[in-house]
Amino acid sequence: MGINIAIDGPSGAGKSTIAKAIAKKIQYVYVDTGALYRSIALFMIRNSVDVKDAEAVASNLEGLDVKLGYVDGSQRVILNGEDVSELIRTPEISMGASAVSAIPRVREFLFDLQQNIARENNILMDGRDIGTVVLPNADVKIFLTASAEKRAERRFKELQEKGDTSTYEEVLEDIIKRDYNDTHREIAPLKKADDAIEVDSSEMSLDEVVAHISGIITEKLDGEKKNKTQREMMPVNPIDKTAKLGFFRSLGYNFVRICVKLAFKIWYKIEFVGKENIPKKGGHIFASTHRSYADPVFLAIAGRTPLSFMAKEELFQGNKFFAWLIGWLGAFPVKRGKGDTEAIDRAIEELNKGRNLIIFPEGTRSKDGKVGKIKTGVALIGAVAQATIVPTAIIFEGKLKFRKKIILAFAPPVEPSELGVNSTSARELKILKNRISDDINNLVNENVNKL
């Protein structure tokens, strides 16, 4: 996977000039995604297809092959074998591109092409939906804007230099129309990603914007590198496997657990598979699929020792009773977007208290029951704490409702040291992560037909 930098923003904000200059400076491949939409518009216009007719455009995509090539580091767009890089830079094609870009089939058609380029290279990609849709995990996201008047002024000058006869008013009108189209379309509208840094270039010269954005990129990438090295050097800090929970806490917890278990067993049809794989003592990790908000409760009734689980910090900042309740149930806050170190320390602290830690390694809830990609976090915590990990699957069809059959399946516990995982090197974390991923997927595959 290359390093990905996304630059989004409205038409004429200078994205391509700026992105090109920065890419050259840092030796990244520059990908102008607007050119892809433009080449589709050119193809449709040449074949007399109405660019506003979604059906007609979609059915003509079959005869179209678009590729990006590079000559001396500069991007060329190849449409059915013809280099159309210059032909797509006319006002007519600009409006056509804006129209075809609102058609879902067009966006799907270009989606894989854009992602594949990003996967294989260090790239700087500019467009409208790069930070939000195409590369939501980009390492750096910039949202570049400028006032409509400034953008029209710049575009007008550019067109004049090319001998185009459009007036300033026409150019401004075009920009306003395209802004409207791009921000109001239903699919992937132009908007700033939550984690993008906004740069307004209205009052800056080209050199100033390039310097400013280069600075942001360097700072971000350096920060990431620092995080990565910190992670590689993270000391292994095994948990105390003999830790016991206080007698009264255990008693209280088990009383509540038995009541809740009874209620859940009446409400749902719960079946356990491999329950013997849950260690009797606390201090282990359930690496579990995530299907519903009730998942922590399902796991709580399966084991005997209290659980801990990470919950986003915001949940603790609202209603005080709710914050107390989830805290009592074992939730602890994690700052999203912060380094891993803090969450790992807290996780080890919880394991040391004899609690079982639930980690949902896919990171998000799965609505359809398919197992997503397992993230490295679970392996990192397992390796640092040298804790026993129980791969777990919560399996049911559709949504949770009365008398729904739910299978709670547990694989034999995994000991990091037995897999030769004694450090947080990337290689060892991958071994642990792959093992957890295989075990979880096997649990789901072996049990899903019992539903």
Interface residues with ligand DC (CB under 6 A) are 11, 33-34, 37-38, 94, 97-98, 101, 127-130, 178, 182
| Dist. CA 292–CA 393, nearest whole Å | 12
The strand pairing partners of 67, in sequence order, are 78
| Chain centroid to CA 381 | 21
Q: Between helices 168-184 and 148-161, what is the axis angle to 10°?
A: 120
Give the nearest distance from C-beta 100 to ligand DC in angstroms.
Answer: 8
Give the nearest distance from C-beta 229 to ligand DC in angstroms.
Answer: 33
| Dist. CA 181–CA 312, nearest whole Å | 36
Which is closer to ligand DC, CB of 199 or CB of 239? 199
Residue 152, number of CB atoms within 10 A of its CB? 22
- The angle at the Cα of 285, spanning 284 to 288, to the nearest 5 degrees, equals 145
Which residue from 199, 189, 16 is spatially nearest to 98, judged by alpha carbons? 189
Give the nearest distance from C-beta 11 to ligand DC in angstroms.
Answer: 5
Cβ distance 273 to 408 under 8 Å?
Answer: yes
Give the nearest distance from C-beta 10 to ligand DC in angstroms.
Answer: 9
Q: Provide the 3-class DSSP secondary structure of residue 451.
A: coil
Cβ distance 210 to 21 under 8 Å?
Answer: yes
Give the nearest distance from C-beta 104 to ligand DC in angstroms.
Answer: 12
Give the nearest distance from C-beta 151 to ligand DC in angstroms.
Answer: 11
Give the nearest distance from C-beta 142 to ligand DC in angstroms.
Answer: 14
Q: Provide the 3-class DSSP secondary structure of residue 311.
A: strand
Give the nearest distance from C-beta 119 to ligand DC in angstroms.
Answer: 17
Give the nearest distance from C-beta 214 to ligand DC in angstroms.
Answer: 21
Cβ distance 404 to 269 under 8 Å?
Answer: yes
Give the nearest distance from C-beta 128 to ligand DC in angstroms.
Answer: 4
**Long-range contacts: 418-424, Cβ < 8 Å, 24+?**
421/379, 421/382, 421/383, 422/236, 422/383, 422/386, 423/236, 423/383, 424/231, 424/232, 424/233, 424/234, 424/236, 424/380, 424/383, 424/384
Give the nearest distance from C-beta 195 to ligand DC in angstroms.
Answer: 18
Q: Between helices 15-26 and 206-232, what is the axis angle to 10°?
A: 50
Cβ distance 111 to 195 under 8 Å?
Answer: no
The answer for residues whose C-beta is within 8 angstroms of residue 299's C-beta and 6 or more apart is 286, 288, 307, 356, 358, 392, 394, 408
> Where is 95: in which H helix or E strand?
helix 91-100
Pairing of the two strands 356-359 and 307-312: parallel
